[in-house]
Amino acid sequence: MALPIHEAWILLFVIPGLVAPAAINHEDYPADEGDQTSSNDNLIFDDYRGKGCVDDSGFVYKLGERFFPGHSNCPCVCTEDGPVCDQPECPKIHPKCTKVEHNGCCPECKEVKNFCEYHGKNYKILEEFKPSPCEWCRCEPSNEVHCVVADCAVPECVNPVYEPEQCCPVCKNGPNCFAGTTIIPAGIEVKVDDCNICHCHNGDWWKPAQCSKRECQGKQAL
């Protein structure tokens, strides 16, 4: 049965659309080099020069607006000539800083070691201590230990003794000096043998004793 004329025209328009896209193989119809690059040539990129600034993520900032480009912690201002960024002279971080934050434009020390280390031991800030009987030390706020060593006077004897927990030596038997190889007490004359009587120098205990010869008892006996 013959179709009416207006139905035949409808089929003519529908039939070409029934062809599946998979039936067309683009490899059989290679495009010209000009056709392959034409799509890229038609891309238009916005030019923000003199109008704004773009950061690393592609965000656009208006002229005069402050922003942080990329991973920088220092702010920038968008100008017609591009971003103008702060470049301050950051203070040095304390060498004993144990916690540094980078949230601002400059790194900031948030925690400094609050003790001093001296000969393997830790001391609090401003703490005073004696590592030895002759040393007096203090832990300074700078985490450094300052010490003063006692200056002992010259002992008044030739046989000083160091007592426990005492810095300077002491003369347990009082001042004395040497008369030859014999130790004699200061302040008195001592007969060291049959012919010699000796005494120590006043104040100069390290010098040998002064001795004077007397008539020897051995000669009197003869």
Task: Report whether pLDDT(82) > 90.
Answer: no
Task: Give the helix/strand (H/E) hosting 36.
Answer: helix 33-41
Give me the CATH number covering residue 143. 2.10.70
**221 in a structural domain:** no
Q: How many domains does the chain have?
A: 3
Give φ, ψ of 21 to 5 degrees: -60, -30
Q: Which of 149, 173, 195 is the last residue of a domain?
A: 149
pLDDT tens digits along 93-110: 877 787 888 777 888 888
Mean pLDDT of 7-13: 41
Residues 160 and 145 in one domain: no
Residues 34, 32: Cα–Cα separation, whole Å: 5
Q: How confident is the model at residue 136 (pLDDT cuts 50, 70, 90)?
A: very high
The verdict on 167 and 208 lying in the same domain is: yes
Residue 8 belongs to a domain: no
**Does residue 189 form part of some domain?**
yes
Mean pLDDT highest for which of 3-7, 29-33, 44-48, 49-53?
Answer: 49-53
For residue 79, tell me if it sits in a domain.
yes
Classify residue 119: in a domain, yes or no: yes
Query: Does residue 129 lie within any of the structural domains?
Result: yes
What is this structure's pTM? Answer: 0.39
Q: What is the extent of the structural domain holding 84?
A: 51-111
Average of per-residue pLDDT across 13-26: 43
Q: Which residue do the tokens 């923000």 mark?
A: 48
Task: Using a pLDDT cut of 90, give the percent of the chain over it.
Answer: 18
Mean pLDDT across 191-199? 88
What is the C-alpha to C-alpha distance for residues 135 and 1, in angstroms, rounded to an integer? Answer: 126
User: Which whole number is the average pLDDT over 204-209?
Assistant: 81
